[in-house]
Structure 1
């Protein structure tokens, strides 16, 4: 085969492969969520799966943590290993960002879909670790977030665990209570800051600008697992930090992980 014909042949093969890849169908959904995947196959191992929650017309990849007791869908991981910046726009928080095998935020539209499945109630499990090696958890037996029209409003009820209910904050200070709060980002905020939030004479228009993260702020509350990550020993007394103060106050955590755990309604 001449060099020109060989070149044409290789070009055709490359073009055909590219076209085939671009037209390849999306992965088939393997379940409604990670709990459902485990229910279908108790031997399923941890990794990335494609899910299609009930009542939705779209599917998307997630990281599933599988154990002998069930499957958990990871919706947030923040541990500094990827140096991922969580100070993102509204669109990025809606659609998700980061690496499913590392630090990431799954996306508000995906979390909303998973928390509104017919006959599949879910709970939120938050796993936390500090730089001393200690770990704790907070679990909310009933968890949903609203849709885009009501700014993904937080509903987290029936707390249990060892880390405390940092969403509630101080019961004596109503503005610390983040239960029922809307989600906010620096470019689309729905908190109660009202241009008066700040730790000094410098005032901010939103809690998201003040704490450099997207979150369910009130005015502004205390919990903020999407805050800036800081390594030890420089992990104390920051304005923006990975915060769950009902467990570790004014101390940026080594890691946070947020999971959804579903069950089949009887």
Structure 2
């Protein structure tokens, strides 16, 4: 028996229940602390055991105040931390408010958005730089990827500003856009939602000859919009034959212009 258990034995009946509850709470707390020791991120967990299976793990990034759960995809190269999955399987709407995008929504084992506060914690670790890998696929079975290194987002006061480094991959740099119009460049953009637009629509944005008060209204999603840009992996999932020429689609136009994608996944990779 531990210290609290021995103390409970000596107590009178009227205080026994309170003491036993204290013991239970202490054990739950210790159990949570043990869970927090799984790693800083998925790559750290993989480094400790490169035979780890893909699944849900508890991480606590360096400098973070709290631990939280993530889905880790374990590959031959390391553990990748999944921060977004959008494929229509769960019918999850990504047309959410600021608090939802900040704290996360969906199911880690399926469609979800991890949460901006957690993405911030993962990308701000000292001596653990991160890069973003985007994996996308179309309805013809073709796949492509885009990587940005380094990658991070700002804090809440900076509206989780996007900082995407050098691009590489096969999908094209849709953050920059496929247009010469500088207003479409989403690099360094703030995150926007329908209830908290930070998208440079001053006072409105023009799209298809119509004026809108925010990009989130047009694209029905939260994203790093900039008047409004062209990439939007949080758009409305649409399947054939209604997956073409829709503004509010799952869009990476440098790879598949005017076409909603079958799936998108966004990972953070540390080293």
TM-score, with length taken from structure 2: 0.87
Q: How far did 1:232 drift?
A: 1.5
1:191 and 2:195 aligned: no
Tell me if the contact between 2:178 and 2:253 (Cα under 8 Å) persists in the aligned partners: no
Alignment-derived partner of residue 140 in structure 1: 148
Q: How far did 1:139 drift?
A: 0.4
Mapping of 1:15-164 within 5 angstroms? 24-25=28-29, 26=32, 27-164=35-172
Tell me if the contact between 1:123 and 1:140 (Cα under 8 Å) persists in the aligned partners: yes
Alignment-derived partner of residue 8 in structure 1: none
Distance 1:113 1:133 in 2: 34
21 and 65 in structure 1: CA distance in 2 versus 1, 3 angstrom threshold: farther
Matching residue within 210, 234, 237 for 2:245: 237
Which segments of 5 or more consecutive residues in structure 1 lack a partner in the other structure? 1-15
202 and 23 in structure 1: CA distance in 2 versus 1, 3 angstrom threshold: farther
Give CA-to-partner distance per residue, 1:77-98, whole Å, 9 cap, x none. Answer: 0000001000101000000000
Alignment-derived partner of residue 226 in structure 2: 218
Give CA-to-partner distance per residue, 1:57-96, whole Å, 9 cap, x none. Answer: 1010000000222000000000000010001010000000
CA-based RMSD: 1.9
Aligned length: 247
What SS class does the counterpart of residue 121 from structure 2 fall into? helix
Distance 1:236 1:201 in 2: 19
Q: How far did 1:129 drift?
A: 0.2
Distance 1:126 1:177 in 2: 18
What SS class does the counterpart of residue 110 from structure 1 fall into? helix
Give CA-to-partner distance per residue, 1:73-129, whole Å, 9 cap, x none. Answer: 000000000010001010000000000000000000000000000100010000000
Deviates more, 1:24-33 or 1:154-163: 24-33
What SS class does the counterpart of residue 168 from structure 2 fall into? strand
Distance 1:150 1:233 in 2: 40
Tell me if the contact between 2:132 and 2:267 (Cα under 8 Å) persists in the aligned partners: yes
Alignment-derived partner of residue 262 in structure 1: 270
Alignment-derived partner of residue 9 in structure 2: none
Which segments of 5 or more consecutive residues in structure 2 lack a partner in the other structure? 1-19
Matching residue within 233, 256, 262 for 1:248: 256
Q: How far did 1:202 drift?
A: 4.2
Q: How far did 1:171 drift?
A: 5.2
Regions of 4+ moved over 4 Å = 19-23
What SS class does the counterpart of residue 218 from structure 2 fall into? helix
